[in-house]
Amino acid sequence: MAIKKQKQKKSPPKKIETDKNKKLSIAVAKKKVTKTTVKKKVKKTVAKKKKLKVSAKPKYQGEKNFLASIQPYKIKKTERYMNARQKKHFIEILERWQSLLVVEQDRTADKLQDIAGNFPDESDRATHEEGFTLELKTRERERRLLNKIDSAVESIDQNDYGFCSACGIEIGIRRLEARPTATRCIDCKTLEEIHEKQQFGSV
């Protein structure tokens, strides 16, 4: 009688081990994915915060403070007056000044729209109106200044910027940095002021 060999059964623990290994690898992969997604989310939020900080509207601190913040132009001995570099320098100044003034104009307009007309107390209304009349006067001066800035930018495009409108000589880099909208040299401006005092008297 031939003894029949019993078929060896495959051990199930190996399957369990492989299943366990697979589950562990899946879990590790999931953790990696979650970590990368969390990192990406953190990066996005940081980037958004940075963008918000950059896009925050700068506040105009007044004409004197703005003119004091202008970085002086480094003049080279051999360079020609009102060359491309100098024009670029003054265009940047004028455009920055213009943008700050426009922001202030918009802020005033928003304030006027948001104000409630009804005040319970008359003294509150009076103080509020007085404050706004002063603010409107400053905005009117700034509006006139915006027109001067526009004409200065146009004169740069026409290659007339930096030259006196009365005598035609150079106004000068330092005078233009002190008053970027200047259209007259220091001598012509002094004569103009003397004539105004003689005509209208000292104010």
Confirm whether 141 is domain-assigned.
yes
Q: What is the CATH number of the domain that holds 89?
A: 1.20.120.910
Confirm whether 34 is domain-assigned.
no
Q: What is the structure's pLDDT at 12?
A: 53
Confirm whether 72 is domain-assigned.
no
Range of the domain at 142: 63-67+80-114+123-200
Domain count, the chain: 1
The confidence band for 22, taking pLDDT boundaries of 50, 70 and 90, is low
Confirm whether 176 is domain-assigned.
yes
Confirm whether 90 is domain-assigned.
yes
DSSP state of 170: B
Integer Cα distance of 23 and 51 in angstroms: 42
Q: Quick: pLDDT tens for 151-191.
A: 999 999 999 999 999 999 999 999 999 999 999 999 999 99
Q: Quick: pLDDT tens for 127-149.
A: 777 777 887 888 888 899 999 99
Q: In this model, does residue 81 exceed pLDDT 90?
A: yes
Q: Whole-number mean pLDDT of the chain?
A: 77
The confidence band for 61, taking pLDDT boundaries of 50, 70 and 90, is confident
Share of the chain above pLDDT 90, in %: 43
Q: What is the structure's pLDDT at 60?
A: 74
Of residues 19 and 173, more confidence is placed in 173
Task: Please choose, from the candidates 179, 145, 144, 143, the residue with its C-alpha nearest in 3D space to the C-alpha of residue 161.
Answer: 179
Cα 202 to chain centroid distance, Å, stands at 40
Integer Cα distance of 68 and 170 in angstroms: 22
Q: What is the mean pLDDT of residues 62-70?
A: 89
